[in-house]
Amino acid sequence: MNMFEITFVKGMNWPKADPIGWCDPFCVFTNNGKEYKTKHDNNTSEPKWEETFTVVSDHQPLEILCFDWDRIGDDDFLGKFCINLDDFCDVTTNKNIKFDITLEEEYLTKKKVEEKPAAVVLTITNLERKKKEEEERLRREEEEKRNNESMTANARKEAMGECKDELLEFAEEGLKEKLRPVQLTLMKWTECNDYHLIYSSDIDELSCEKISSLLSSISNCMILILDSTGNLFGIFTPSISESCSTQFTLFSLKGFEGSLSLKFTPLPSSDSLIQISPTKNVILSVKNAFTIALNDQSFIDASFSNNFTSSHPFESTILTGKVSPDKFSIRCFFALQWY
């Protein structure tokens, strides 16, 4: 069954029904077993109501009864009119429709303007159509929003692509300034003299496939991971062949215990290796150490301290202050090529 809203807007040219004064008009109807009634307006032939009711169409004419309200005694029945709601299924809102009242005979000659009918003005809204139109409006707005966001993202991507080299150079200058205090330590660990920044997630999209392809194509690669709380750690490997490597250096530059440059060496029994064969969300993992993943799902292996050794005593929490099952989020992911 269709649902409708009926707004009783006003009345027009209602007859005189009171000995003193004119008329106190109101309307009554019954729908789906429930009675509905407008408020009465006082002493007028042109009542104003602006009241809305929700009704159900049962495919039968809806009979509206018109009364004059009396303070003492019964209200006076003046007349009635009918609405066929099925006539209003094809348009969402029909505004200010005038329905003539069929008056009782005794009131036919008591109108202010005798040649004009007494009437009620209604606005009728098909709620099912209104709902569908609202859903369609929201769908269009959402589609337009997505299109605008896509256009903005594409424009940003194009702009970033056009000046990518300049951005990497600028980012490299900033990174070198931050790493200057540990430059000699990094040179010792890598046995190289300097580096170029070849990837930054602040510039390029953080993509598992893209990073995997990049890392497997370069030598003397260093990965730096900066987490959301400022911890900085990473790995260095001369090469990664067939998506994995057992030759690597794992280190921390700033961790849970502060700025302390530490190198971690896998124990012979740890069987540790770097893996960059990405799943849907994993960027890379170092067995028994850590996994770097998208969507804030990165974690430190709880057995880290049992599988690696260092010149400084440490717990598995040293890198980020937390271990699996607790996760951490990546602030930035850097890839450097040393030479």
pLDDT in tens, the chain (339 residues): 789 999 999 999 999 998 888 999 999 999 999 999 999 999 999 999 999 999 999 889 999 999 999 988 899 999 999 999 999 988 999 999 999 999 999 999 999 888 899 999 999 999 999 999 999 999 999 999 998 888 877 776 665 556 667 777 778 888 899 899 999 999 999 999 999 998 998 888 777 777 877 877 788 999 999 999 999 999 998 877 655 556 788 999 998 888 889 999 988 877 767 776 556 688 888 889 999 998 899 999 999 999 999 999 999 999 999 999 999 999 999 999 999
Preceding amide of 325 cis, omega within 30: yes
List the beta bridge partners of residue 332: 226
- φ and ψ of 201, to 5 deg: -70, -10
The two structure tokens encoding residue 313? 């005593």
What dihedral do alpha carbons 132, 137, 143, 145 form, nearest 10°?
-150
In this structure, which topology does domain 3-131 adopt according to CATH? Immunoglobulin-like (2.60.40)
- How far apart CA 46 and CA 11 sit, in angstroms, is 5
**Cβ distance 246 to 234 under 8 Å?**
no
> CA–CA separation, 279 vs 226, rounded Å?
21
Long-range contacts of 234-242 (CB under 8 A, 24+ apart): 234/334, 235/274, 235/286, 236/189, 236/190, 236/338, 237/274, 240/215, 240/216, 240/274, 240/276, 241/216
CA distance 88 to 74: 34
CB atoms within 10 A of CB 47: 24
**Rounded alpha-carbon distances, angstroms, from residue 62 to 13, 30, 95, 111, 145:** 22, 8, 18, 25, 43
Among 229, 255, 251, 232, which Cα is nearest to 317's? Answer: 255
> Rg of the chain's alpha carbons, rounded to an integer?
39
**C-alpha neighbours within 13 Å on the C-beta side of residue 253:** 23
Q: Check: CB of residue 130 under 8 Å from CB of residue 4.
A: no
As annotated, the residues of the chain forming the CATH 2.60.40.150 domain(s) are 3-131
**Distance in angstroms (rounded) separating the CA atoms of residues 85 and 17:** 30
